[in-house]
Amino acid sequence: MKILVTGGAGFIGSHVVEALLKRGDEVTVVDDFNDYYDPAIKRRNLAGVLDHPSFRLVEGDIRDRALIETLLQGEFEVVVHLAARAGVRPSLKDPVLYETVNVIGLLNLLEGAVQFGKPRFVFASSSSVYGLSPRLPWREDDPVDCPISPYAVTKRMGELLCYNYNHIHGLDTVALRFFTVYGPRQRPDMAIAKFTRAILQGDPITVFGDGSAIRDFTYVGDIVDGVLAAVERRFGFEIINLGGAQSITVLELIQAVSRTVGREAKLIFQAPFPGDVPATLADSAKAQRLLGLSPKTSIDQGLQRYLEWLVP
């Protein structure tokens, strides 16, 4: 298949690109290599596929409507939309940037998709849309009217736009709600990356709150399996959780990282951070039913793989 992957140089995107190429797809990546974190990291993510005969890289911004329209004339069968400004905490500082990239950028892609062939559209959403929804584990039909960060709002808006373009234009869309993805190549601002680096260097780890916040950590390989399964199916419109592997508290996570690294962690406690939710936990029944997907990587296995990648 001919597949366009937006944000394909990023953490999750580069793994998806490699998996698609491995199975024989023709892949075009569009990525702007912005400075949210060191662009050199993202370039290294793609270093192993740049010479692949079925790979093409386009450097550009999804907010550039003319670029997106030109790209989508390439008769793609599927668009995997992973490009976004990520992160809850940074979105509090610059919500306008998050709105323009995550919403206007998505609109450009949806408009282009409708205009040029209506490729199946796989949208990367986020567990953050559940916000303060009280019932755990979270199911796709739970209320999502209480997001508590601009990032979460943009992801919920993205889901609604996907529904709208399916309803009005018949565009086949699926929104995959990712739950705290980790693993090799993860962004340096993510918790496991920061915790591991601090323990290796003997630096203290800052814990916001008392460390009892719960997160559903999902290994990147399990996420890739979900994306590839979604690429193969027609849904009309669906929202599907990708998570449910293992939920642990922040303190338990730090202990697990310490075990993996083989060193003790030093902790500093600070007040909770606005925008952080107290718990995330995915109900994965729908992913099992529609995608045949069950997360299979435990946190200890995933942390070991991450450390082996970080310290080869």
pLDDT in tens, 101-121: 999 999 999 999 999 999 999
pLDDT tens figures, 14-61: 999 999 999 999 999 999 999 999 999 999 999 999 999 999 999 999
Mean pLDDT score across all residues of the chain:
95
pLDDT of residue 173: 98
pLDDT of residue 174: 98
pLDDT of residue 91: 94
pLDDT of residue 274: 78
Residue 303 — very low, low, confident or very high, per pLDDT cuts 50/70/90? very high
- CA distance linking residue 61 with residue 59, whole number of Å: 7
pLDDT of residue 277: 80
Residue boundaries of the structural domains of the chain: 2-179+219-244+282-295
pLDDT of residue 180: 93
Dihedral-angle region of residue 213 (phi above 0 means left; psi in -120 to 50 means alpha; beta otherwise): beta
pLDDT of residue 144: 94
For the cut 90, the answer to whether the pLDDT of residue 294 exceeds it is no
Structure-model confidence comparison of residues 278 and 217, the more confident one? 217
The fraction of the chain above a pLDDT of 70, given in percent, is 100
CA 172 to chain centre: 20
pLDDT of residue 295: 85
pLDDT of residue 297: 92
- CB-based contacts of 36: which residues, under 8 Å, 6+ apart? 85, 86, 87, 90, 187
For the cut 90, the answer to whether the pLDDT of residue 296 exceeds it is no
CA 284 to chain centre: 16
pLDDT of residue 71: 95
Could you say which of 36, 151, 219, 306 is catalytic?
151
- CB-based contacts of 257: which residues, under 8 Å, 6+ apart? 192, 195, 196, 199, 265, 303
Active site residue 151: yes
Closest CA to 219 of 294, 112, 312: 294
pLDDT of residue 246: 75
Closest CA to 83 of 14, 160, 152, 5: 5
Give the 3-state DSSP-derived string for the chain, with helices as H, strands as E and coil as C: CEEEEECCCCHHHHHHHHHHHHCCCEEEEEECCCCCCCHHHHHHHCCCCCCCCCEEEEECCCCCHHHHHHHHHHCCCEEEECCCCCCHHHHHHCHHHHHHHHHHHHHHHHHHHHHCCCCEEEEEEEHHHHCCCCCCCECCCCCCCCCCCHHHHHHHHHHHHHHHHHHHHCCCEEEEEECCEECCCCCCCCHHHHHHHHHHHCCEEEEECCCCCEEEEEEHHHHHHHHHHHHCCCCCEEEEEECCCEEEEHHHHHHHHHHHHCCCCEEEEECCCCCCCCECCECCHHHHHHHCCCCCCCHHHHHHHHHHHHCC
Task: Give the residue-averaged pLDDT of 129-154.
Answer: 92
pLDDT tens figures, 257-293: 999 999 999 999 998 877 778 889 999 999 999 999 8
CA 140 to chain centre: 17
Name the CATH superfamily housing domain 2-179+219-244+282-295.
NAD(P)-binding Rossmann-like Domain (3.40.50.720)
Task: Give the residue-averaged pLDDT of 178-193.
Answer: 95
Residue at token pair 């296995």: 301
